[in-house]
Amino acid sequence: MLKADFAGKRALVTGGASGIGLATARALAACGAAVAVNHLADDPRGPEAVTAIREAGGTALAAPGDVSNPEQAAAMVEAAAKALGGLDILINNAATPGSLEPIPFADLDAMTEEFWGKLLSTNLVGPFRCTRAAVPYLRESRGCIVSTASIAGMGGNASSLAYGAAKAGLINLTRNLAKALGPEIRVNAVAPGLTRTPWTDTWPAERKDRSVANTMLLRMVEPEDVADAMVYLCANKAVTGQTVVVDCGRMF
């Protein structure tokens, strides 16, 4: 685990109940930050994540709320910032693939208005909502934002056309928010490749093996790999407007 000194820092991690979000929340807490773990209100993994961080010696609190809902997203960020006494780090990680199985790009009929709306509202507008609500606190602390993008937003394989487009939008949003919010707030993103998460755990081994065979390191990305990149981007005060690829050397 990459180590940094975040003692006294206050962080909010959206989608922090599992996978990349949980690994990042744990990493930030291990570096000394007090962490608000965002999760859906009915997801028992959220309180479990908070308990696990506390049992490991970290400081954590629950921040329930749905980033795809405008009112809930804003209220969640406000509540978390007030409970923490401010905000230094925002990790925009909450996202959804929209389906249990990847959807072939050629299946345009599966790209319904409802499907597009769900993915864009969660994966693209959701990070913007949380950022907008967090800006007053981050500006005061001269803090930072790191979002979870994807190599799908750079032309890599995606779970669907809508997912790839939303992540491409997030990469563009990252660059432009860095311009808009600097110099007080740094804004970056991490673009993971195929990562071991609760969603990909259900995939057939053959599908994952094909993807791994197209990487230089011949392995999947682990959530902790992405968390290390998040920690680096939070700690390095000379980096902004960047999207760091963590994909084990994926060869498109």
What is the 3-state secondary structure of 7-25? CCCEEEECCCCCHHHHHHH
Angle between helices 19-30 and 223-235 (to 10 degrees): 50
In the block, tokens 């693939």 appear at: 97
Residue in 58, 158, 163, 240 annotated catalytic? 163
Catalytic residue at 163? yes
Token readout for 8 is: 């006294």
Q: Which two tokens stand for residue 81?
A: 């910032």
Angle, alpha carbons 123-145-164 (nearest 5°): 25
Tell me the C-alpha distance between 41 and 231, whole Å.
26
Contact yes or no for 87/141 (Cβ under 8 A): yes
Catalytic site positions: 163
